Amino acid sequence: MMKNKICLVFALLYGLLSFSAAYADDAIKSTENTTIRLYHNGEDKVLAEFVMQPDWHISWSNPGDVGQPTEVTAINSKIEVTAQSIPVARTIYDIMHEYLYENTAYYALQVDNLDKAEITFSFVECNDVCKPESLTFKMAEIAASPDVQWLEMQQRAQATFPQKITLTSPLGENRLQLNMDAQTPLYFAPTKKDIIDEMSIETEPNAEGISVKWQSDKPQQLKQALIITPNNAYLADIEYKSTLTDTLLYMIILAFIGGIILNAMPCVFPILSLKIFTLLKQPQTGITPYKNAVFYTLGVLLSFIVLAVIMLWLKTEGNNIGWGFQLQSSWFVGIMSIIFLLLFLFMADILHFPNFAGNTIHRLSGFNEFTTGFFAVLVASPCAGPFMGAAIGYAFMRTNAEVMAIFTALALGYALPYALIEMFPQALHRILPKPGAWMQKLKIILSVPILITAIWLGSIFYTQIMTDTYAADTTELDWQPFDAEKIAELNEQGRNIFVDFTADWCLTCQFNERFILKSQRFKEFVQENNVALFVADLTEHQEDLGTALSSYGRDAIPLYVYYHQGKYEILPLFFSVKSLPQ
């Protein structure tokens, strides 16, 4: 009897030990070179302990330039990696980075529906050779860790995790300021691969510590990165916040100022010259000038809004277009050249409008001023003055309402100078002599820029319908058609590169080409600094070039981009050759 009781006790103990061993085995799984053991608190938290054989390693969530990321997935459950051990960062051949785990590493996981979850770890274990592996755990078969063991494992894992911090980047700039010794060597690595162009990451010491910059394709943003220094490691959550230069109000102010300056651009002068001549002949009245200013402003505003609506519609259709897009149409250019020719014939007294037409126009109060304002915007569209490029580029990366706000500010700025002259014509009369024979001579003089504009538009029309769209001047400098892959390749080699986004219908572009790009100083600079020259000709619509223009955050031309020492900068509208780095 006693013997039977002893056997029963041993049988129960054996069963309990076998049961515990079975649970222990279910919590541990191995490949030939990597072992994973899971611990959990019985609720929603799991710790995974990786142990690699000597001389073997697996990759971090971002392997760097070589390897495959270690991934954690689950079925019947949602899973999140809340922390992972600091990887070993290595530089290979002085140019390639890799982030890996050797010996031991820990992953902290947040898991819902823990009892139903099946968690799979996928990784590649490497030595001289690499082997893809995966291990799957059924959490229902793994007992909760005892409290003492769970606390011990948490403390052990926590010692390997990076410190969590939050850093702020100005919106759209991809730039962080690290407050540490400027001479501290560091690795800056996104927690996931292919989020940004990792080759573009730059670290520069400054008076406040270290600045980190990178490039990315908008609207892709880097949300989290690991910063590894010799003594510490930080897991940085990156927030993008608006500064003064990123706010809508700031861009509206830029657009308003850009609209004012647009009046001084070469393509706008013919229309203003015609209007100034008309004002000189107008009798001074007390009410009409104000009414004329209002109608002129309304015409400008409507024209800008129509352009904005068309551009937004084309954007939704997948087209990459920007400011001045309508001059890519040979039909539009042809009609505009005819209109300018008729204006010249009218001002030169070669052609006269019938009296009944003139009387009808005058009876339609404000019609002449309204149409002048509307037409003036179409003529101005080939030009992009200072501040306009940044404002329009900002607008088309935002909501439709912000686009309309930017274009409205641009319209009001553009209308303001002439509207003021309309409201206070006496100021014009004080500056200029009284009407007389000199006005006829002035009329002829002011007709010249209109004729030049008509000829210019006619030449563009001829180019668009009769010649190849690429018109780079290769007689003295070696201009190559825009090639994004070749530019990237030369940039990686450290070559100086100059990119010109231009078009025959962009008068500002032609002005800069004549006085800057064809200057002896620019030619000497190109030759002395071995600059590769690329031109993106937007005379006619080309989808790939429109995409390239947008990639620099711009929707208007001219645009000049200069690459130097592996990075690029967008040059001012009227840049100085002396300011270019050598």
Query: pLDDT of 454-513, one tens digit each?
Result: 787 787 777 766 544 344 444 478 899 999 889 988 988 889 999 998 877 666 677 788
pLDDT score, position 434: 64
Q: How many residues does the chain have?
A: 582
Dist CA 60 CA 90 (whole Å): 12
- The secondary structure of the chain in percent helix, strand, coil, rounded to multiples of 5, reads 45, 25, 30
DSSP for residue 125: E
Gap between the Cα atoms of 431 and 419, Å rounded:
17
Q: Which of 91-95, 350-354, 578-582 has the lowest mean pLDDT?
A: 350-354
180 DSSP assignment: S
pLDDT score, position 396: 64
Do the bridges between strand 209-215 and strand 104-111 make them parallel or antiparallel, or are there none, so unpaired? Answer: unpaired
What stretches of 469-537 adopt beta strand conformation (E)? 479-481, 497-502, 532-537
Please write the tens of the pLDDT for every residue from 363-405: 444 567 787 788 777 767 656 666 676 677 666 666 778 888 8
Domain ranges for the chain, please list them.
23-158, 163-245, 247-466, 479-579
d(CA 195, CA 217): 9
Give me 484's structure tokens. 């994004």
For the domain spanning 479-579, the CATH number is 3.40.30.10
3-state secondary structure of 543: helix
Place of tokens 């080939």: 382
Structure tokens at 324: 């001045």
C-alpha Rg value of the chain to the nearest Å: 34
SS3 call for 15: helix
CB 476 within 8 A of CB 513: no
Token pair 């250019």: residue: 333
Integer angstrom CA distances of residue 137 from 38, 51, 73, 118, 130: 8, 16, 11, 6, 23
What tokens were used for 103? 């010996």
In the prediction, which pLDDT does 243 show? 59
More confidently predicted of 80 and 3: 80
State mean pLDDT over 555-579: 83
- Give 101's strand partners: 58
Alpha-carbon span 514 to 389, nearest angstrom: 21
Query: Would residue 506 be called left, alpha or beta, if left means φ above 0 and alpha means ψ between -120 and 50 degrees?
Result: beta
Interval 90-106 mean pLDDT: 85
Q: Which residue has the higher pLDDT, 196 or 233?
A: 233
Packing angle between helix 248-262 and helix 400-423, nearest 10 degrees? 40
pTM of the predicted model over 0.95: no
* Cβ proximity of 456 and 507 under 8 Å: yes
Domain 163-245 has CATH 3.30.450.40: no
Whether residue 154 has pLDDT greater than 90:
yes
- The amino acid sitting at 113 is N
Per-residue 3-state assignment (H helix, E strand, C coil) for 462-500: HHHHHCCCCCCCCCCCCEEECCHHHHHHHHHCCCCEEEE
Q: How far is CA 231 from CA 86, 161, 234, 486, in A?
A: 12, 13, 10, 40
Measured from the Cβ of residue 314, the count of other Cβ atoms closer than 10 Å reads 15
For 277, phi and psi rounded to 5 degrees?
Answer: -60, -40
Would 163-245 and 479-579 be classified into the same CATH topology? no
Output the CA–CA distances (angstroms, integers) from residue 518 to 158, 231, 390, in the order listed. Answer: 63, 54, 26
Q: What is the pLDDT of residue 531?
A: 93
Left if phi > 0, otherwise alpha if psi is -120 to 50, otherwise beta: which for 494? left
Dihedral sign for Cα 517, 518, 519, 523, please: positive
pLDDT in tens, 248-270: 788 888 889 888 888 776 566 65
**Which position has the higher pLDDT, 534 or 170?**
534
Distance, CA of 285 to CA of 263 (rounded, Å): 26
Domain 23-158: CATH class, spelled out: mainly beta
Closest CA to 84 of 142, 152, 164: 164
Answer whether 193's CB lies under 8 Å from 60's CB: no
Structure tokens given for 410: 């641009």
